[in-house]
Structure 1
């Protein structure tokens, strides 16, 4: 369990640094299994299925085009072997609109040999995400 939590903390710190500071992807990539896959909600600007470390890096490029900063306010972890449920409450700043969004995301992550092999995020309110990103709020609803 300690190894899994350490890997998660390293991953989330690297993710926040990538979005906020534009650091390189290497720290995040080191946490990923070669067969990693992420499933994002289809209707988000960075939605879809992202495969392999190269796919996750492309996702991060899309994510960092969308958001100018990412700050984790609260994180809770429930570990069951190589499966982890993470509650993330955070703040993100939309690049295009300058709006600050505080929201929550639950993630189901699976590990293999200490590396992340699957990521499934579940947003509390995707409409709020889209509203924060919309330059014309009338197009969201």
Structure 2
């Protein structure tokens, strides 16, 4: 049995390589996809502009593009983890930088991640304060709901 944290660390390294190579539209997503199950799902809070369920490798690649449209940067300040079999809970304290407003937001995001058969199968992030995320992005109320409703999550 592969250790779930080892799988996740390899995914995080591939994600960092993908972003360093230019990210969506510029880098090859195959390196990240190699660490994701074909049925992977990324669940994001519906109130966020990139909210919804993003399914499969194609969905994850489109999610990365949606995140890159919203944020120009993400810096991890600290990370704590707990592993229980196939489940990893990760608490990240991080700083996001919004593309539209240039604002920075220091916040925490908890991720509940499922790993099975050596591949990441599911991400469930929980933001400390989605209202602060929307404020940093310059998105509010009805606009946020419209953005979330328009997300393509196939």
User: TM-score higher than 0.5 here?
Assistant: yes
CA contact 2:2–2:118 (8 Å) conserved in 1? no
Specify the alignment match of 2:131 in structure 1.
Answer: 127
Q: How does the TM-score come out when normalised to structure 1?
A: 0.87
Selected match of 2:118 from 114, 119, 128: 114
Answer yes or no: is 1:31 the counterpart of 2:35.
Answer: yes
CA contact 1:77–1:85 (8 Å) conserved in 2? yes
Q: How does the TM-score come out when normalised to structure 2?
A: 0.80
Structure 1: state its 5+ residue gaps: none
RMSD between superposed Cα atoms in Å:
2.2
User: Separation in 1 of the partners of 2:102 and 2:43?
Assistant: 26
User: Separation in 2 of the partners of 1:46 and 1:135?
Assistant: 12
Structure 2: state its 5+ residue gaps: 145-154
Specify the alignment match of 1:12 in structure 2.
Answer: 12
**Alignment length (residue pairs):** 138
Specify the alignment match of 1:3 in structure 2.
Answer: 3
Specify the alignment match of 1:40 in structure 2.
Answer: 44
**1:94–1:21: structure 2 CA closer, same or farther, 3 Å change rule?**
farther
